[in-house]
Amino acid sequence: MKNILIISCSIMLLCSCAGSKPEDSDKLTLGSVQTKIFKGQSQSAVIEALGSPNIVTYDAQGKEVWTYDRISNEKEAQSSGFWVFLFGQSSSASSSSSKSLTVIITFDNNKNVLDYTYQSLKY
C-alpha cells in the first residue's frame, strides 16, 4: 500500500511540473483564419479569435495593420522497439517538417477589418 502511495505521489508531482503551451499558441491556425476572420469585424473580435498580433504597423494611408507570424516544427522519430527487446540492436529513423503561417490584417478608421490576407507554407 505504501508503494502505491509513493508511486501515485510521484506521478502527480511529475504531471504538475510538466510545462504547458501558451494560451494563444493554438489560436492561430489556417482554419481559424478562414472561418473566424471576416471583413467588418472589430479588433477585439480578431484578438479573441487569433490572439495578439506579432507586429502592429501603419500603412501609407495611416491605416492600422496587424501581422501574425507563426512557425512550427514537427519532429517524428520511429524506432523498432520490438527488435531492440529481442536482439539488443536499435534501428531508428526520423523526419522533420516546418510550417509557417503569416496573416496580415488591415483595419479601417473605425478599427474594423478592411482587408486581410494569409499565406501558409509547409517545408
Task: Please count the other Cβ atoms lying within 10 Å of the Cβ belonging to residue 113.
Answer: 19
Instruction: Give the domains, in start order, of the chain with CATH numbers.
Output: 24-122 (3.30.1450.10)
What pLDDT sits at residue 51? 94
Task: Express each pLDDT in 23-70 by its tens digit.
Answer: 445 688 999 999 999 999 999 999 999 999 999 999 999 999 999 999
What pLDDT sits at residue 91? 58
Confidence of residue 19 (pLDDT cuts 50, 70, 90): very low
**Does residue 10 carry a pLDDT above 60?**
no
Q: Is there a contact between 60 and 95 (Cβ–Cβ < 8 Å)? A: no
